[in-house]
Chain A
């Protein structure tokens, strides 16, 4: 055979014992691949499973309907939901029910995303935020105030009534889910601005 003429494959040559140093020497001329974490944060993949977020409709009403499907799907029993009825005076979400209590225990949650798959209204999604470490067990149970998405442009914090279109008709729940609500109507936005202005004036009076 031709192979048997050359060096035997199993037998090391005379330089084999120092060949490893070649690798070490070569590494000296390579660029270090160290990530300078706290100073330069490398963004995660978009699909990274980080902290949860409770989303809102474009007019500020919550998407969560308090159905507890996320809590049922959770393999670690990390989610606690208590639903309650919306009333005409206090409306937090379009439709009948909303999540009154919503807690996620991050010391149980394994960030698997089964709750995201279970959510029927896409109310629960995950962000890419991962800096969650804390010093006590109590502070790692995130309640609704820490999980809710921040108010974006054109949103009014609930409770408030449902969106009214140009003709003054209150839209239905279905239209919310079809994405036909662009933002809070002008009436509501105006009310919010007026309330904020009044609060500012009150604060100025108290301080002066």
Chain B
């Protein structure tokens, strides 16, 4: 009947996915979430010399409802963790999290009771960026790698299936407490 039956299977949806991904990655709006020294580098990336406006993301939104990318820049203390989660929950879907710097990614050199050992204990992280603090080029590199991930994001049924598969994989994965070596948090 329709065009869906004439074209090869998956053709139409994949094209729509590609288009949606292209538009999503071209207009990421970051929420300001500067927590420590990494925020200085994040501000430098937004300013004239490195100019995030080239990627269509110069507006750092102070309001989470108008943002879809959370750049967690700096160490997250135990007291900040619920605040971070609330801001993440307030952001509309689809949303992404970039964990900037070693402190946000794994606690870094602050392996103590006050700091959350990796922001992925609180929110799902899409891309990790090492460095202490990462230079603006490193942040832009992480953003470009995130763009590639966004471009590949499935839509509709595929998106639900992908989320299921990710959840199953996470349930099957070895708990961090049983991990050995450097992976142990």
Contacts and interface: CB of A to CB of B under 8 A. Distances in A.
Interface string A93-133: 00000000001011111111000000000000000001111
Query: Which of B48, B106, B134, B136 has the largest number of chain A CB atoms within 10 A?
Result: B106
Interface string B30-55: 00000000000000000011110010
B183 interface: yes
Interface in A140-172: 140-141
Contacts, number: 103
9 contacts: A35-B50, A38-B141, A111-B132, A130-B141, A131-B138, A133-B141, A136-B128, A137-B118, A140-B105
Query: Which of A38, A112, A141 has the largest number of chain B CB atoms within 10 A?
Result: A38
A110 B134 CA distance: 9
Nearest to B51: A34
A131 B105 CA distance: 16
Given A110-B132, A111-B132, A135 B49 contact: no
Say whether chain A's binding surface is mostly helix, strand, loop, or mixed.
Answer: loop
Interface residues of A, number: 35
B142 A133 contact: yes
Interface of B: 48-51, 54, 102, 105-109, 111, 118, 120, 126-132, 134-138, 140-142, 144-145, 149, 181-183
Given A103-B182, A132-B138, A135-B145, A108 B109 contact: yes
A80 B3 CA distance: 57
A196 interface: no
Query: Which of B50, B102, B111, B145 has the largest number of chain A CB atoms within 10 A?
Result: B102
B49 A109 contact: no
B183 A137 contact: yes
A109 B128 contact: no
A17 to B, nearest CB: 25
Contact of B50 (A37, A75, A130, A137): A37
A76 interface: yes
Contacts of B118: 107, 137
Contacts of B181: 80, 103
A134 interface: yes
Contacts of B140: 37-38
Contacts of A103: 181-182
B109 A75 contact: yes
Contacts of B54: 34, 36
A90 interface: no
A38 B102 CA distance: 23
A90 B108 CA distance: 37
- Enumerate the 9 nearest inter-chain pairs by beta-carbon distance, A residue then B residue, closest first: A133-B142, A110-B132, A76-B109, A107-B106, A106-B130, A105-B182, A107-B105, A133-B129, A131-B141
Contacts of B135: 44, 130
Contacts of B49: 33-35
